Amino acid sequence: MENLKVLVVDDEARMRKLVKDFLTIKGFSVIEAEDGENAVDIFFKQKDIALVILDVMMPKMDGWEVCKAIRQYSQTPIIMLTARGEERDELKGFELGVDEYISKPFSPKILVARVEAILRRSNAAASDVIQVGGIDINKAAHEVTIDGTPVELSFKEFELLSYFVDNQGIALSREKILNNVWNYDYFGDARTIDTHVKKLRSKMGSKGEYIKTVWGMGYKFEVAEQQR
């Protein structure tokens, strides 16, 4: 993962330096932005930023606004940092397309581990395209088409759909989905998954019915025999 560019956005110079130092040790190229407006300018000028680490509370333009601006044109992974550990903030972040959510104070080593995990998954070279029920998932290109039409999914939505398809016909608990898709022990509300599933179903149109709710447990991806 050497030389991959990471944009670190925080109005605290001390926090930017801390994150930059740990990422640089791991071979990442780090670009800093001290506010939201600066971050958006840099993101769209640089073009090849692999991941964004974004603080919520900033002057001029907060993290939510930056996330919205990026998500209008790009599915580049976003990790949100915040001193506010409230559940509604986390849900809002996931609804906007945030991929990971980390509350301050945090361990820089854990942050770097999550950065590496996200980039490993997003850059994983899966040679084959998975096809099921009119859905084509190209894991190498991180692209999804439904009945031949491209569908724009966030990084986490793509991961969730891939996990469902890889486990067709299996009832998956919310805990198991969190552990496998979010790739760490998540202590927030399980509604995080419900929010993502709702958005994913909506983007999938009629194919959204493949994701079935298993009441009191979680979800199951199932395609009727005649639709395979």
- pLDDT for 129 beyond 80: no
**Do the beta carbons of residue 193 and residue 174 sit within 8 Å?**
yes
Q: Which pLDDT value is given to residue 47?
A: 74
- pLDDT for 185 beyond 80: no
pLDDT digits (tens, 9 = 90+) for 83-112: 766 667 777 778 888 888 888 888 888 899
Q: Which pLDDT value is given to residue 31?
A: 96
Q: Which pLDDT value is given to residue 147?
A: 92
In order of their start, the domains of the chain are: 5-123 (3.40.50.2300), 129-227 (1.10.10.10)
Q: Which pLDDT value is given to residue 87?
A: 67
Q: Which of 210, 215, 221, 9 is nearest to 98 (CA)?
A: 9
202 vs 16: CA distance, rounded Å: 37
Band the pLDDT of 72: cuts 50, 70, 90: confident
Reported pTM: 0.59
199 vs 194: CA distance, rounded Å: 9
Q: Which pLDDT value is given to residue 128?
A: 59
pLDDT digits (tens, 9 = 90+) for 29-40: 999 999 999 999
pLDDT digits (tens, 9 = 90+) for 31-64: 999 999 999 999 999 878 999 999 988 888 999 9
Q: Which pLDDT value is given to residue 84?
A: 64
219 vs 210: CA distance, rounded Å: 10
Q: Which pLDDT value is given to residue 127?
A: 43
49 vs 31: CA distance, rounded Å: 9
Q: Phi and psi of 57, rounded to 5°? A: -85, 105
Distance of CA 190 to the CA centre of its chain: 16
User: What's the mean per-residue pLDDT of the chain?
Assistant: 86
Mean pLDDT of 158-179: 90
Among 11-25, 139-153, 173-187, which stretch is predicted with the lowest mean pLDDT? 173-187
- Helices 36-46 + 63-71 axis angle, to 10: 20
Band the pLDDT of 188: cuts 50, 70, 90: low
Band the pLDDT of 227: cuts 50, 70, 90: low
**Of 211 and 174, the one with more pLDDT:** 211
Would you call 78 exposed, middle or buried from its count of C-beta atoms within 10 A (0-12, 13-18, 19+)? buried
Band the pLDDT of 187: cuts 50, 70, 90: low
